[in-house]
Amino acid sequence: MLTKTAFRQSLLEARRVAGQAQGLLDSARLTTEVRQAQRIALFVSRGLEPQTGALIDWLLAAGKEVLLPILYADNDLGWGIAPGAADLVPGRLGLSEPRVDLGSDAIATADLVICPALAVDRTGVRLGRGGGSYDRALARVPAGTPIWAAVYDNEIVEELPADPHDHPVHAAITPTRLVRF
């Protein structure tokens, strides 16, 4: 099996070659969890990640609260309520973030968490970019709260390497479907 670093390089190159980022709105709004959730922790996509902008706008228009991450200097994540894309401010590493930080434990108040990933396997092992930010944040999510990884269809794989600190996800959401594990 490839190492995490080799998997990351391969997946990022595949995204670069494909060159087209697709959004999650169509598949997300069809799910019961999204329709029933009042507060959803999400992320502002960038580059070739599955696009979240239209989904964030739709959730806000539907009267939902959207929590967005704030990257701290130690790579942990705080969370703030999305006021709308125009009101986000530049954050660390080129991320767009809310102005007000509710703290790192705010993720525990979400009814659903959708996090970025480069790949996820059929047992729920999620491969991120390697900073550990989301593994720390996901450890704060109460048992029973659904956690989904946002990936493309071809990034759902049979097996990924895992470390003890890796936090599993319950499903993968792609631009075309939701795959539960």
- Nearest CA to 99 out of 133, 68, 138 is that of 68
Place of tokens 């739709």: 58
DSSP code at position 123 = T
Known binding positions: 4-8, 44, 49, 126-134
Structure tokens of 80?
A: 């703030």
HSE of 89, CA atoms in CB hemisphere, 13 A: 10
Place of tokens 């003890």: 164
Buried b (16+ CB within 10 A) or exposed e, 74-95: eebbbbbebeeeeebeebeeeb
Known binding positions for substrate: 44, 49
Amino acid at 124: G
Cα–Cα distance, 33 to 29 (Å, whole number): 9
- Bridging pattern class, strands 119-121 and 126-127: antiparallel
Known binding positions for ATP: 4-8, 126-134
